[in-house]
Structure 1
Amino acid sequence: MIVAESAHLAVAAVLLVAAPAKLRDVPGFAASVAGYRVLPGRLSLPVAVAALAAEVVSAGLLLVPGARQWGAAVAALLFTAFLVAMVAVLRRGMSVACGCFGGRDLVGPGTLARTGLLLALAVTAGLAGPVAFAPAQVPVAAVLLGLAFLTPRLFRRRRPSSGPRPGSRFALSGAPEPAGDRVLYALVSPGCGLCGAMLPEFAATAARMEVVLVSAVDGYGGAGLPVVVDPDVFDRNDIPWPPYAVVTGRDGTVLAGGGAAGPAELERVLARAERVAPT
């Protein structure tokens, strides 16, 4: 069947488009991998590099009839891993950049459907076997590509979480009375590798201002910092994922906020807060 015989071209084209976009910004792709919060932070870069290598190798194997089934198998494993990670994100209600083609599309039903379709095409390519190239495969592959890339448009895009805005009130239950003019609330989560890696950075910030760890579930402690458990803190403040930093004044007014997956990100939040007069 011409559709099955053309599937390998569609999958190879997708991989050959996706890989260069990510290669132009490997650290950015690694940050997207870290954003899924399914791996310890230290593994984000090695996993990103391995995924890129697998995409390139799979695309090359798909274009060689004798090796096509191996290429299809690698592609199927990649798309399966992507699907598992996306499902994990959606089940946790997180707002995460897909990182699929080097862009900032959010993980959602559309990206899930597109990845599922690509997985089906990879499996189809493997089952079709070492079919020789025929010109008729090109337009059919183009139609399959069109379906894959138009699929996300059939689903309504979810509004991305943006976090609390400066000037708003940081809603937190059970917070201790602030002792200083500024307070850094470091939002963390058990099992989050990046959160654990950032604990020393949050502790070091205590020399500059009061620091409080905030978690939605119990089980977080350490670094000698006070911990507040508030199950609804992420939803109530529209915070996408941990680790996240919010700096407020004494009265709880937000001075600055943002992701804190690394020391540089945390420092940017602190710098923005220091430019605002405390309240």
Structure 2
Amino acid sequence: MRALSQVKPALLFLLLVCGSATASPLADSVVRASPIDEVAAQYPAMMSQGIREGLKQSGRVEPFVANTISSVVSNAFSVAEIRAQVVEDLDRGLSDEQMNSVLAWYETPLAEKISRAEVAASSPAAWKEVEAGASALQDKYEGSERAKLFARFDRASRATESAVDTTIAVQLGLASAMAAFNGNKGPTFEQLQQKIENQRGMLRGMVAQQVYDGYLYTYQDFTSSELRDYIEFLESDAGSAFTRVVTNSIQRSITDPVESVGSQLVRFLNPG
């Protein structure tokens, strides 16, 4: 599970195929107002990096081959398609009243400030800062109201749940790459997939701490009162529906292409 270290929950929890031509302008406006566009844009690079580093650390392939495979992986994920799927799913999954409530929230000064913080925390440059500052932030907020609010935040945002799902998607991408590289000499993709799914409980324990570290880092400049206001939005009828639809939509958009990665790699590794 070495690629796990390359999956950054500071990005994963912020949050979150084509065919949105009939989606309402209201759903599109909600996506534009939220940080979804900018955060989702990080997903293809994140998936590619996780798989590239996992391949390199495995010692089974040369760095050049790992880099080339990661390019194939990156091209399998489309930011435009992820966005289109989110817009379409919001249009189908939320009422106009709910979407107007979400839009009203994201147009508030607090929501705009939170969105900027979440986008900043999703950038690759922030990942090392999260890891480097984790211990200090844990000590600083131990026993504080901010620390106690995390359980509510995690439930309402589906943070750890989404992080585990995306971690598994990266692991499946790595498994697909390794199965293609090994040919008939190793476990099949289906066998590797089952093995990864069996480790979901272990992954949750490992990811949960990273999600907490990301939470402390991302919202460190917000007061406890501001965090409570944000959590109350996430717990509201509209906020809860929005979070559920967005996280499910993004997870499907990044999981569905994984199996196709293997067939593309087979053609790449065995031309002709």
The structure that is helix-richer by fraction is 2
Higher RCO by CA contacts (8 Å cutoff, separation 6 or greater): 2
TM-score higher than 0.5: no
Q: Between Structure 1 and Structure 2, which shows a larger proportion of strand residues?
A: 1
TM-score bracket, shorter-length normalisation: under 0.3
Rg (Cα) greater in structure: 1
- TM-score, normalised to structure 2, is 0.26
